Chain A
Amino acid sequence: MEWILENLPHILELTLDHLLLSAPAVLAAFLLSLPLGRLAVRLPRLREPLVGGIGLLYAIPSLPLFIVLPLILGTSIREPLNAVVALTLFGLALMVRSAADAFGSVEEDVRLAAVAVGHSAGGRFLTVELPLAGPALLAGLRVVSVSTISLVSVSAVLGVTSLGSLFTDGFERGIVAAIVAGIVTTAALALVLDLLLVALGRVLMPWRRPVPRRSASRSAEKGAA
């Protein structure tokens, strides 16, 4: 506890570093997944190669990817950009599937109705499909946000500064409090961002009702209330 209080400014600084690595990656993954997911719905034949192919990225272990990526980017391993790109790729691996599912769940009837009303393709996407796919997109985004924030820490073993640095420093110098502070702060950051996303969803999608739980198979009479 004492250690934490003494090092509070340092922890806050690392939290900011952590956020600066994860937030751009989450945002980039989200924005890139929208056209890709929409494309997968538009061209069903492309869906499996696209969604499955990008999904394969998820099979790549994070630490090795941090090391391999500089080959392609020409960055150094310790550069934040390198970490952000790697995290974006992982986020994309999860988010493209969510986006494809989200747009796929917008019913064809609704889409056709929007065409019949006279929306242009762009207007239709922004005013009809995006809002309707919104809840499912948000669900995917929340998963990406939480897992990205926990993933950032790994890059600390390569010397990238983040809350993960509390783990490497704490381990090397034998300070348990540093590691505990790192775990708690990382989890708290994930939680805060998650709550922010939920709140944002409420503001942007006020019509959203909670999805009813799958009805229990116990009810004996079919169709009975």
Chain B
Amino acid sequence: MIEFRQVSKTYPDGTAAVEDFSLTVPSHTTTVLLGSSGCGKTTLLRMVNRMVEPTAGSVRIDDVDVATVRPVALRRSIGYVMQNSGLMPHRRVVEDIATVPRLNGVPRAEARRRAMELMEVVGLDPQLARRHPGQLSGGQQQRVGVARALADDPNILLMDEPFGAVDPLVRLELQRELRRLQDDLRKTIVFVTHDIDEALALGDQIVVLRPGGRTAQVGTPRELVEAPADDFVSRFLGLGEGRRKLRAAPRPGGGQVVTDDAGRPLGVLDDADGGPSADAGE
């Protein structure tokens, strides 16, 4: 469990990135910090592994204030995935994935063996192990980034717009894979994004942020869509202008065709399992 207790971050020039923010991130779930740029979401994420120190308040992991843990040791115990993969251009894929285990003193051969396993876990061809990141596609690079973050089996995974720089099709694929991974691994994930669809697709809990790192609403994806707290959230989710309005019409072969507001088909709703868990709209 990660707790933000009334944290603030004010830079020396007086700009406040985050003000009096509190949140509990339950273990083994995915919490998405959702907001446009400048809302302080990355700052909040980086407070967890002390890449940013709050100017007030504290961040606690399982009731231990992170400020009492050495930053280097803390970061080695937490996985971190960033937007442009942040892979080391001078290292081979397998070496890069093995970084944290090596930093934690795992022998080279053992670290490599684990790295190879992880490549399979994240769906990478083991033949890519000897490549350098410059020789990989954007999607492959992000997979390597995820594998590297998971390499020493951390309990917590911090993801900073990890799929923001890849093209939309690959992004959907990566999101699906992350969900599959999370079903198996049950990590505590904090995920930062400005993409509403991504937040709805991945979050167990979503935190909508206003500029200046203030919370607009916290809830499950469904709660947000069903009962947006105010205009800001409603507009942010695109509920106001009909972007999320769906219509259903009977289909000759049975079931119903779901269309968006403009009448473009999105999927088919079966009569049998036409409940709220249907994946229409993805």
User: Are chains A and B touching directly in their complex (CB below 8 angstroms)?
Assistant: yes
List 3 A-B pairs, minimum CB-CB distance, nearest first: A223-B37, A224-B38, A220-B43
The residue that A223 contacts in the complex, of B9, B38, B51, B52, with Cβ under 8 A, is B38
A225 within 8 A of B: yes
**Those of A187-225 within 8 Å (CB) of chain B:** 220-225
B42 within 8 A of A: yes
B28 within 8 A of A: no
Chain B residues within 8 Å of A224, by CB: 15, 17, 37-38
CA distance A225 to B52 in the complex (A): 17
Mask of A96-122 contacts with B, CB within 8 angstroms, 1/0: 000000000000000000000000000
CA distance A224 to B39 in the complex (A): 8
**Those of B148-165 within 8 Å (CB) of chain A:** none
> Which A residue sits closest to B82, measured CB to CB?
A222
Chain B residues within 8 Å of A225, by CB: 15, 38
CA distance A135 to B36 in the complex (A): 37
Chain B residues within 8 Å of A223, by CB: 37-38
B203 within 8 A of A: no
> Which A residue sits closest to B211, measured CB to CB?
A224
> Which A residue sits closest to B47, measured CB to CB?
A220
A105 CB → nearest B CB, Å: 24
A118 CB → nearest B CB, Å: 40
Q: A220-B17, A221-B40 are in contact. List 5 more A-B contacts (CB 8 A).
A: A221-B38, A221-B39, A222-B37, A222-B83, A223-B38
Chain A residues within 8 Å of B40, by CB: 221
A-B contact pairs, 26 of them (CB 8 A): A220-B9, A220-B17, A220-B42, A220-B43, A220-B46, A220-B51, A220-B52, A221-B17, A221-B37, A221-B38, A221-B39, A221-B40, A221-B41, A221-B42, A221-B43, A222-B37, A222-B42, A222-B83, A223-B37, A223-B38, A224-B15, A224-B17, A224-B37, A224-B38, A225-B15, A225-B38
Chain A residues within 8 Å of B37, by CB: 221-224
CA distance A225 to B39 in the complex (A): 11
B171 CB → nearest A CB, Å: 18
**Those of B25-79 within 8 Å (CB) of chain A:** 37-43, 46, 51-52
Q: Is the interface of A mostly helix, strand, loop or mixed?
A: loop
Which residues does A use to contact B, with CB under 8 Å?
220-225
> Which A residue sits closest to B37, measured CB to CB?
A223
B101 CB → nearest A CB, Å: 26
CA distance A222 to B194 in the complex (A): 12
CA distance A224 to B212 in the complex (A): 10
CA distance A223 to B83 in the complex (A): 13
B96 CB → nearest A CB, Å: 20
A192 CB → nearest B CB, Å: 38
Chain A residues within 8 Å of B17, by CB: 220-221, 224
CA distance A104 to B46 in the complex (A): 40
> Which B residue sits closest to A218, measured CB to CB?
B11
CA distance A225 to B212 in the complex (A): 12
Chain A residues within 8 Å of B38, by CB: 221, 223-225
CA distance A67 to B154 in the complex (A): 69
Chain B residues within 8 Å of A220, by CB: 9, 17, 42-43, 46, 51-52
B190 CB → nearest A CB, Å: 15
Chain A residues within 8 Å of B43, by CB: 220-221
Mask of B167-198 contacts with A, CB within 8 angstroms, 1/0: 00000000000000000000000000000000
B161 CB → nearest A CB, Å: 8
> Which B residue sits closest to A223, measured CB to CB?
B37
A138 CB → nearest B CB, Å: 32
B124 CB → nearest A CB, Å: 26
B49 CB → nearest A CB, Å: 12
CA distance A225 to B40 in the complex (A): 11
Give the one of A220, A222, A223, A224 with max B CB within 10 A. Answer: A220
CA distance A225 to B16 in the complex (A): 11
> Which A residue sits closest to B45, measured CB to CB?
A220
